Amino acid sequence: MTKSILFFGFLLVFLGLTLPGTQGRIIPRCELVKIFRNHGFQGFVGKTVADWVCLVQHQSNYNTHAFRDEGKSRDYGIFQINSKYWCDDGKTPGTSNTCRINCSKFLDDNIEDDIRCAKIIAKEANGLSRWIAWKKHCKGKKLDSYVKGC
Ligand SMILES: *[C@@H]1O[C@H](CO)[C@@H](O)[C@H](O)[C@H]1NC(C)=O
């Protein structure tokens, strides 16, 4: 009995790892904390790793394939980077493409380029106020829980 439960458990995990579905990769919270620490987010533009984790949770729920069509422009990836100012998706007239990148790069599982652009955005705003979800859910709040146990 327990053996077959284990077997199906492993089967499900295996399928989850091998079927790169439309769901996208959900980056575990503590893995993201580690990545952010390694990329010098702590103290960057006066914000903490917890601020960034909170931002990502509320913008994309940690999903590397997160995508939102806003009509005139679109938001891409874990940071929901917008095509109007930061990247080029070929269908946003007048985009300034400040990060000099194809927006579709923000939808793959490699978040190095997302991080590079997010830092450019934060630097330009000298903070995280360009992210609506951060302002609404994270700014001025107690954020310990986002890095707890990591
Ligand atoms: C971005 O990359 C995608 C996928 O490789 C490609 O289809 C698209 O034409 C590119 N868009 C721009 C604006 O370069």
Bridge partners of residue 63, in order along the sequence:
26
Q: Which residue has the higher pLDDT, 125 or 22?
A: 125
Which helix (H) or strand (E) is 116 found in, with range? helix 112-125
The pocket around ligand 1, CB under 6 angstroms, is made up of 88-90, 102, 104
Q: Which of 65, 89, 104 most suits a substitution to test ligand 1, by most atoms within 8 Å of the C-beta?
A: 104
pLDDT tens digits for range 17-32: 444 445 689 999 999 9
Ligand 1 atom with minimal separation from the 90 CA:
13
- Find where tokens 């499900």 sit: 12
- For residues 64 and 108, the answer to whether their CB atoms sit within 8 Å is yes
Query: Of all atoms in ligand 1, which is nearest to the CA of residue 88?
Result: 13
Q: Which SS3 state, helix, strand or coil, does residue 106 take?
A: helix
The domain at 23-146 falls in which architecture? Orthogonal Bundle (1.10)
Q: What share of the chain is helix, strand, coil (3-state, %, to 5)?
A: 45, 10, 45
* Residue extents of the structural domains in the chain: 23-146
Is the pLDDT at 12 greater than 70? The verdict is: no
Give me ligand 1 centre to Cα 53, in Å: 29
71-98 pLDDT per residue, tens: 999 999 999 999 999 999 999 999 999 9
Structure tokens at 76: 């891409």
What is the rounded CA–CA span in Å between residue 61 and residue 77?
Answer: 10
